[in-house]
């Protein structure tokens, strides 16, 4: 994750193992600790190991995507001045690194549920990238009770309400909660935050906002 005016980071985001190509280098979102296991000669991060063991909930036995609700294509968060920002479905590279789009888009982790479906839907974006602010630059300004709208590929929309905002050291990120595939529907918005470590060219923390569908009664 790079601050505006700095050189792009070449670090990547460990998430899961899959043969999906990446179109851009991505900054640290989650700590890259080596757990000693991996795909081929590539060691998996803690998150990669977690997602690999949980399986891919959006793949059927033939390897095709199941239609588990409409897919998100846009995001509006009025309280931080985001209006219909493009949401791009992202996966992982062969080495277990999550794809994150550029500064102007949000990545929906396609192996997570569609927002509003049971389980935790993960939407990630940069705080800064390529010398400019990312769309989640002001994510830490969100407050409990703030609302946002997800736009879907079937032209429908759904409103969500923030229930909690937290900041974690990257080594203490609650992976099982953020990437939960059980329980009621929730959305997790995640970016980098905290102090900027210039020697590592990365932020030391993650900012996470948790939300539920409006009217869900959770």
pTM, rounded to two decimals: 0.74
Instruction: State the Cα–Cα distance between residues 49 and 145, nearest whole angstrom.
Output: 34
Residue 154, number of CB atoms within 10 A of its CB: 10
pLDDT in 10s for each residue of the chain, 218 residues: 555 443 333 223 334 323 222 323 333 343 332 222 322 333 333 444 444 434 444 444 344 444 467 999 999 999 999 999 999 998 876 656 567 889 999 999 988 899 999 999 999 999 988 889 999 999 999 999 999 999 999 999 999 999 999 999 988 889 889 988 889 999 999 999 888 888 877 788 999 999 999 987 66
CB 215, CB 25: distance < 8 Å: no
Task: Determine the pLDDT at residue 119.
Answer: 93
pLDDT value, residue 99: 79
Q: Long-range contacts for 176-182 (Cβ within 8 Å, ≥24 apart)?
A: 176/50, 177/120, 178/120, 178/122, 178/208, 179/47, 179/50, 179/51, 179/54, 179/109, 179/112, 179/120, 179/122, 180/119, 180/120, 181/54, 181/57, 181/112, 181/113, 181/119, 181/120, 182/118, 182/119
For residue 181, the model assigns a pLDDT of: 84
**136 and 191 in contact (C-beta within 8 Å)?**
yes
DSSP H helices in 103-172: none
Please tell me whether residue 160 adopts helix, strand or coil conformation: strand
Inter-residue contact 188 to 139 (CB < 8 Å): no
């Amino acid at each position: 994750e790079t601050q505006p005016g700095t050189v792009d980071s070449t670090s990547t985001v460990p998430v899961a193992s899959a043969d999906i190509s990446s179109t851009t280098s991505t900054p640290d979102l989650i700590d890259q600790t080596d757990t000693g296991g991996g795909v081929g000669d590539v060691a998996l991060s803690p998150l990669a190991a977690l997602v690999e063991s949980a399986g891919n909930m959006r793949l059927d036995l033939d390897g095709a995507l199941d239609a588990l609700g409409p897919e998100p294509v846009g995001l509006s968060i009025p309280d931080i001045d985001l209006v219909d920002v493009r949401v791009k479905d992202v996966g992982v590279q062969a080495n277990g690194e999550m794809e994150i789009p550029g500064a102007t888009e949000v990545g929906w982790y396609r192996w997570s549920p569609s927002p509003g479906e049971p389980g935790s839907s993960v939407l990630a974006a940069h705080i800064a990238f390529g010398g400019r602010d990312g769309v989640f630059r002001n994510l830490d300004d969100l407050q409990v009770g703030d609302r946002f709208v997800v736009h879907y590929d079937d032209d429908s929309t759904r409103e969500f309400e923030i229930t909690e905002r937290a900041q974690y050291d990257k080594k203490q990120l609650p992976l099982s909660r953020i990437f939960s595939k059980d329980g009621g529907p929730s959305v997790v918005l995640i970016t980098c935050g905290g102090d900027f470590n210039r020697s590592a060219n990365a932020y030391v923390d993650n900012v996470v906002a948790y939300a539920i569908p409006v009217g869900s009664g959770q």
